[in-house]
Structure 1
């Protein structure tokens, strides 16, 4: 397939990377990036690049990745609650300033022969190009203009968050809560340069209102900083900041928007990155998804005989992976929204809960990769000394074999006896709702009192994870014994839920 002209709307990382890859694959084509902003002004602070993303970028374009890595800042991660802190050594976690990343990608796009046109806003109707790549972000004008064809849907999260930064490098990435007189705020912070760190801070709506941030949000014009919030949070996180200031960049409280589209392409126009989809920041950045979209788009266009076939192949390849990540991201978002409810756990056990929160990492895998954290966390769950926790290969069965004392009853292991299902005081509850939905809240508030709730439902993986997440909500709301049916093939998932105190007992089905 021969392309003579390619127009890219949006000069963010995804758009620049797509332009470079497409120009390298179609050297005879005229490739132009239209960006409404100017090169030296950008929104945001640091961008994280996980090891898997780095591997994908290296396979697609080693030269540009080498430049990114050279300008990036490596770090480990940690979690601190009060005076207790745990660390996870990880040699492949990198972060880079957004402005620095853009400068690197701009240089490599131009080196490939891409024309960059800044300060220009273009609509699809104004362009005469064989292919139009709409990488124009979460507020995509292209997606809005062609909404009838793309079919976008937007869902807002319950919590609120804001992005800010500071002018010193944290020693490592850190997740840490601070309890103020108004409620709990949680920081996700990481260094991205020798003298810079990103701070993302989130809270629930009630705390946000009690602190007066509903007023400051309303009074802060778009494009300016919510200074009252920055001043408050700078004081609240003074220990983590080590006396340094919080810096804003159009910083204002937001609710995370999860965007899905029924279609990612129409005619010769294709959506890429946040224009097509978003996933909660707690599982990785939109930058990662956008650049990986660019790789898939370039590969599809290069291989196909017609543009229609190419765009269909791109969407067919990327949609399952993106939707899987969006499912994981929704679970992660809900976990962070309810993070303050777990602060009674020892921090090592809390880290186990964090790593297994979305079903992506099993407890045995975490025990193998980070025994210095997982072992004390599992010991806290089991009420034993760390030396009694077995090797990672035996952890799943060890968790299932832990005894439980609850409500005057003694259980020799965490597999529920079948007699409990029909016992007086046990209420069966079929779960067919998403755990963070209004319907789940209604279900929980409408439950009659019971000594034990036994959760049932479909046997697929997503439904099982939903059931375990709803179980945690019921368990914390009622204090009752929580049992969940889990297909036998998901024993490791069940073990992670038990060690994280999502449920008390499980019953294996199938």
Structure 2
């Protein structure tokens, strides 16, 4: 397919990257990037790139990827809870400053022959190009102006977060909750340069209001940072800041917005990155989605005979991965929103809960890369010494552990456990009003001795059942048994080890 011209709205990572990829593949095509501000006005802190994203970027454009790696910072991961910090020796996590990343992408796009228009506030309707790529961010004017055509939906979540930074490279990435007089704040922090780290902090709305941050947010000028919050949180997280302070860059409290669209293109206009979809920061960055979307879009255009076919192919190829990631991200977001309720667990069990929260990693798989952490977590689960954990078959070892003196194994026949109230979990949101009603109803049932939960056999339904089970255990304080298909054994093991359920019925002999 021959394109005479391509215009890109937005000079973020996705827009810059796709512009270069298209110019490299179509050197005779005029490719322009329109950005409403100057390059020097870039704000933000570090951007993390996971292993799979690194592989994808390397395959698509080795030269640009090499420059990214050369200017990035590698780090391990850790979690600090209850005065103890446990690290995972991972060697594949890197982060790079957002401004540095943009400088690299801008330079490589220019090298390929991409043209730039700064301080350019234009709309897709004003551009006369064969293809218009709207990479204009989560607040996309292109998407909003054609919201009905795109079938756009923006869900605003209740929890709050702010992006801050600090002027030191932390020893490693760290997840750290901090209890204060107002409630719990949780930090997601990681180094991205020799003298810089990202420090994202989140909390629930009630804690945010008790701290008075809602009042500060209301009077904050548009381009200012919330210095009151930064000062307070800098003191709260002083032990993790190693004597340094929190710094802001247009830092203010935000609510995460999940963007989804039924269609990603309209005529010759196509949405890219946050303009089309977002996924919670705890599972992946908007930068990752936007740049990988750019790879898919450039490939579709190269393969198709006409523009409509290319844009259809782009969506068909990319949408399943995006929707899967969004589903995973939503589950991860719920885990972090409810993280303060789990702070009674030792940090090793919390790390296992974190790694298995979205059903992507089993306990057995996690043990392959973090054996000491998993063995300690299994000992905590079984209330035994670490030396008693059987490394030979973790799944069977977990299932055969007793529960007190009443049950000789965690695998049971539900029919042999008296007084269980059967509940089929069909809610889609384990923290929504339907689940609230269910938990309240079970709490009022004085006749039952426990709950027998079941759900549809697909992974999503099983994971939602475990989320509901965890709420019932913690809020009602009753025995929770989950009935599962044997194919869900790995998920069941994760739920047992992280104390989301007490017992499981996997069919067959107990």
**TM superposition score category, shorter chain reference:** over 0.9
In the TM superposition, what is the alpha-carbon distance from 1:16 to its structure 2 partner? 0.4
Report the Cα distance in structure 2 between the residues aligned to 1:145 and 1:161, rounded to whole angstroms: 28
Match of residue 430, structure 2, among 428, 432, 435? 435
Report the Cα distance in structure 2 between the residues aligned to 1:446 and 1:223, rounded to whole angstroms: 47
Aligned position for 1:479: 477
Aligned position for 1:460: 458
Report the Cα distance in structure 2 between the residues aligned to 1:501 and 1:268, rounded to whole angstroms: 51
In the TM superposition, what is the alpha-carbon distance from 1:420 to its structure 2 partner? 4.2
Moved beyond 3 Å, runs of 4+: none
SS in 2 for 1:379: helix
SS in 1 for 2:191: strand
| Segment drifting more, 447-456 vs 173-182 | 447-456
Report the Cα distance in structure 2 between the residues aligned to 1:324 and 1:461, rounded to whole angstroms: 12
TM-score scaled to structure 2, two decimals?
0.97
In the TM superposition, what is the alpha-carbon distance from 1:82 to its structure 2 partner? 2.8
CA contact (8 A) 2:137 2:274 kept: yes
Aligned position for 1:354: 354
| Residue correspondence of structure 1 range 41-60 to structure 2 within 5 A | 41-60=41-60
Report the Cα distance in structure 2 between the residues aligned to 1:485 and 1:6, rounded to whole angstroms: 55
Report the Cα distance in structure 2 between the residues aligned to 1:37 and 1:508, rounded to whole angstroms: 58
In the TM superposition, what is the alpha-carbon distance from 1:509 to its structure 2 partner? 5.2
In the TM superposition, what is the alpha-carbon distance from 1:499 to its structure 2 partner? 0.5
Match of residue 412, structure 1, among 390, 408, 413? 408
Q: Unpaired runs of 5+ in structure 2?
A: none
Q: Does 1:182 align with 2:207?
A: no
In the TM superposition, what is the alpha-carbon distance from 1:418 to its structure 2 partner? 2.7
CA contact (8 A) 1:279 1:325 kept: yes
Report the Cα distance in structure 1 between the residues aligned to 2:483 and 2:119, rounded to whole angstroms: 57
Q: Deviations over 1:289-345 (max 9, x none)?
A: 110000111111100111111111111111111111111111110111111111111
Aligned position for 1:395: 394
Report the Cα distance in structure 2 between the residues aligned to 1:52 and 1:10, rounded to whole angstroms: 25
SS in 2 for 1:404: coil
Q: Unpaired runs of 5+ in structure 1?
A: none
Aligned position for 1:446: 441
Aligned position for 2:488: 490
Change (3 A) 1:338 1:495: same
Aligned position for 2:195: 195
CA contact (8 A) 2:414 2:481 kept: no
CA contact (8 A) 1:296 1:318 kept: yes
In the TM superposition, what is the alpha-carbon distance from 1:416 to its structure 2 partner? 2.7
Aligned position for 1:315: 315
| Segment drifting more, 21-30 vs 484-493 | 484-493
Aligned position for 1:470: 468
Report the Cα distance in structure 2 between the residues aligned to 1:45 and 1:265, rounded to whole angstroms: 31
Report the Cα distance in structure 1 between the residues aligned to 2:484 and 2:320, rounded to whole angstroms: 24
TM-score scaled to structure 1, two decimals?
0.97
SS in 2 for 1:27: coil
In the TM superposition, what is the alpha-carbon distance from 1:413 to its structure 2 partner? 1.2
